[in-house]
Amino acid sequence: MGTARAVATALHDRPGLIGAHEANQADPRRQAEEELRRLAQERGADASAASEPPPAPTDPVQAAHEISAILKGLERTTSRIWVVNREFRVLALAGSLKRQEPRTVAGGWIERAGHLLFAGVVQRPSEDFDEATPQDALASGKEIAAAFQGAPRSGMRPTADGKAVIVSAAHPIWAGDEVVGAVVAEETTNSILSVRSRALERLLLATLAAFVLAAAVLGTLATRISWRIRRLRDEAEGAIDAQGRIAHPMSGSRAGDEIGDLSRSFSALLARLAEHHAYLETMASRLSHELRTPVAVVRSSLENLKLGASPDEARVYLERAEQGLARLSTILTRMSEAARLEQGLATTQRECFDLAAVVSGCIEGYRVAFSGRVFELELPQEPNAQVLVEGSPDLVSQLLDKLVDNAKDFGTPGTPIRVRLECTDSDAVLSVANQGVPLPEGMRERVFASMVSMRKGSPTTGPHLGLGLHIARLITEFHRGTIRAEDLPEGGVRIVVSVPRAKAAQ
């Protein structure tokens, strides 16, 4: 409307310019009167005459050029301007409704990125539309009809192909009190749609950036939390070894969140468990020390009573008391055996020795000591083969004593005890097998713990506290080896000990 008003203002009170297209058909007397009037206006004393526009030319071609020059100075790049007279004849036309589409998206990298990302979501207006004016657009246009009535008016209409919407405004051209023509300015809504599309692309791009940023922050937070939880799990699992002992305490985290509080709770809990475990480990030695004194008193009293004259019935009670005292002494000795062994392992010197010779010597001794049992020994087949390991031969003999004693107690009477020593590239593998019942479910790992025994108590057998295989495990760990129990397919149990061979033997 502002553009139409500006053009109409430039054409006000110039009826000759508007009517020049019909000058060849006008009355010559009328042309003379208009010329005289023009000369009178130039000579007049009216101060406002100087500001009036110059007289319009009577040549239609010259008038068309002058109107086009006026429109050229006022037209916009996306507007089309019409000048029509009251006979709906187009006197001049300037501009085009189509914009020149740039090859690249205007704006910075944000606009270009938004256009590339959301090209399929946000549809930008197209300049490929039919801008031709229908035949009846001028005659039946409500805006032009209103302008000829002296009232500016605007309206909207679709293009002929329906691909765009045209907004038009018409303003009357006055010559005195008479409307001699109208100026029609037209423009499509594509510029508004382009602004809307760019705004929507920016909004979508900002939303996508916010989602990406939030996902990155949440991913970083989740990764850090999961990493801290895994580290806490690894510390908790590494704090306790395979035998259930506290290997090393946990270091509580200083973080003030829930994970840090949980880490400090685990650290305090493991510290208390370590203290309790240390108490349990030393309880056997303290109990053994405390019980030796009353046992010694009972023993001395029984000896003094035995030396005196006693009835036969009293001697029976004395013999039973001596048997119980002997069993109690054996229990105390075995209770302190594991504690003494752990203390002695810390000061035992390592040496390189032939494991095959130690095993062979021990088996010869077992055959003499347990003449009622059969021992089968299998050594490496190479002549004069030596199986060198680093450790203590005395401790290996004690280890073999415990394994053979276990096989003798659980093996079926009359079946052999098979002892086998073989070598791999890096380890020496010693196994002791016996025929009999297999291990109970879940006892393969627990059988090497302290105070775990599967023997059934009997007054005719010696006391068993479940320390034999526990001592065997301690000696195996001293030699940097591993020990395991496995069931035999034909029935029975095999204890397998693997220790690394000395470097000189590899």
Closest of 482, 456, 470 to residue 281, by C-alpha? 470
**Contact predicate 480/500, CB 8 Å:** yes
**Contact predicate 369/361, CB 8 Å:** no
Strand positions, DSSP E, 58-177: 79-85, 90-95, 153-158, 165-175
- Per-residue pLDDT of the chain (506 residues), as tens digits, is 888 888 888 888 776 667 654 444 444 334 434 444 644 454 454 444 444 545 545 466 666 677 777 777 665 556 788 888 888 788 888 877 776 655 444 455 666 666 666 666 666 676 777 776 655 566 667 888 888 888 999 888 888 777 788 888 999 988 888 888 898 888 888 878 878 887 887 888 888 889 999 999 999 999 988 888 888 888 887 777 776 777 777 777 778 788 888 888 888 888 888 777 776 766 666 666 666 766 777 777 677 766 765 666 566 666 767 777 777 776 667 666 666 776 777 778 889 999 999 999 999 988 888 888 899 998 887 666 788 999 999 889 988 988 998 888 888 888 899 999 998 888 999 999 999 888 877 677 777 766 556 555 444 445 555 677 888 888 898 899 999 988 888 888 999 999 999 875 55
Are both 240-347 and 350-505 of the same fold? no
Please state the CATH superfamily assignment of the domain spanning residues 2-96+131-188 in this structure.
PAS domain (3.30.450.20)
Q: Which two tokens stand for residue 37?
A: 């009037």
Q: Which two tokens stand for residue 466?
A: 């479940």
Q: Classify each residue of 430-442 as buried b or exposed e, where b means 16 or more C-beta atoms within 10 Å of its C-beta.
A: bbbbbbbeebeee
Q: Which two tokens stand for residue 262?
A: 């949980």
CATH entry, 240-347, from 1.10.287, 4.10.240, 2.60.40, 2.30.30: 1.10.287
Q: Which pTM was predicted?
A: 0.43
Closest of 96, 94, 88 to residue 21, by C-alpha? 88
Domain map of the chain by residue range?
2-96+131-188, 240-347, 350-505
Domain 350-505: give its CATH code. Answer: 3.30.565.10
Alpha-carbon distance values, 234 to 175, 257, 266, 268, 445 (Å): 97, 19, 12, 17, 21
Host H or E run for residue 419: strand 417-423
- Rg for the chain, CA atoms, rounded: 57
**Contact predicate 58/14, CB 8 Å:** no
